[in-house]
Amino acid sequence: MISTGIIKGIISLLLATNAIDQTSSTYEILNAIGDAFFYFIPVFLAITAAKRFGVETFTAALIGCILLHPSMTNLMSSDGTVTFFNLEVPKVIYSSSVIPIILAIYFTKYVQNFCYKIIPETFKGLFTPPICLLIVTPVILFVFGPIGKVAGSWLASGYENIYNLSPLVAGIIVGSLQPFMVMFGLHWGLFTVAINNISLVGYDTILALFGAAIFAQGGAALAVAFKTKDKKFKSQAISAGLTTLLGITEPAMYGVNLKLKRPMTCACIAGGVGGAVAGMFGCRATSFALPALTTLPVFMSKAFIQFLISLVIAFGLAFVLTLFSYNKDLEKLENETEEEV
């Protein structure tokens, strides 16, 4: 995701400088490089979900591929009625979708385990995958696909209602709660909304609000690096803080801020303030890319200077709050390190 986000940023920069034309084949090829991950995200999610739920990896990946097969896509985008054994199938486009494939792989876990119980050991590997495919695929078409469509619609409507009511409030909510959305996987739902917004109207505001939260994590981690006397942890915090500038928050979030608790609180406060600024000025992205120094061209369409200000505020405020706040967890960590020495 980070790699394709960087590529999308490069494409936006090339378009802004008229280095390439949006109608050219060069643009189409570059755009395919940048968009492929998000189009085929059900396959990638199937693989990662399979590891999490204990499902055979290639079976899970094949389920994702089935949903994106040209025949399936053509059926779902056609004007006529789609039926499966005379039962009407709800039309859902599965490219760039998130919720259906996660539910599907979770359900596959139980189908697979049932097959393992009833099929003799000799034939498990032979018959379990096709049985899973034949059972899970219709369930996706009739149940999980519509559920994902409705859930995505509710999530999009909820965000749009809050944003239309007050972009500033939306910025505070997303900017401060984004780390917890990531922890519980809820950010994937917002990513779906963001991708849909870009495809429909050509821009999205959610990604701009994520920027403050991402940079706030970096500011807090670097403040910890500045405060700690533990050389090993200092090096870890510096590395984690700097990687957030490339859109990678996990090392800072899990390895530093959440571990010490207080820096996470400071980052959430700063993220909310920075998000409020981005929301108030209507900052937006024209392509899907996680906010980072390398993807800044994606956010040049509207209020770009204000977007940069929101990042600086989030980063700086998180740094200051963390730097001047007392942290007993950091002292405990340093004392434990001294005792080990």
**Dihedral class, residue 55 (left if φ above 0, else alpha if ψ from -120 to 50, else beta):** beta
Instruction: For 229-277, write each residue's pLDDT tens digit.
Output: 778 888 888 988 888 888 778 788 888 888 888 899 999 999 999 999 9
Query: Which residue type occupies 339?
Result: E
Residue partners of 112: CB distance under 8 A and separation at least 6: 55, 56, 59, 128, 132
Q: Which tokens is 241 given?
A: 């803080």
pLDDT at residue 5, as a whole number: 63
pLDDT at residue 315, as a whole number: 96
Domains of the chain, by residue range, sit at: 1-165, 176-339
- Measured between alpha carbons, how far is 137 from 277 in angstroms, rounded to an integer? 44
pLDDT at residue 339, as a whole number: 46
Reduced to 3 states, what is the DSSP secondary structure of residue 88? strand
Reduced to 3 states, what is the DSSP secondary structure of residue 87? strand
- Measured between alpha carbons, how far is 205 from 170 in angstroms, rounded to an integer? 10
Helices within the chain (DSSP H only): 2-16, 25-39, 41-53, 57-68, 70-77, 99-118, 124-139, 145-165, 167-183, 187-201, 206-227, 231-243, 250-252, 258-260, 262-280, 304-323, 328-340
pLDDT at residue 84, as a whole number: 94
Q: How far apart are the first and last CA of the chain?
A: 40
pTM: 0.65
Concatenated DSSP letters for 267-334?
A: HHHHHHHHHHHHHHTT--BSS----SGGGGGGG-SS-HHHHHHHHHHHHHHHHHHHHTS--HHHHHHH
Question: Could you say which residues of the chain have pLDDT below 50?
Answer: 339-341
Closest-CA residue to 62 (of 147, 138, 129) = 129
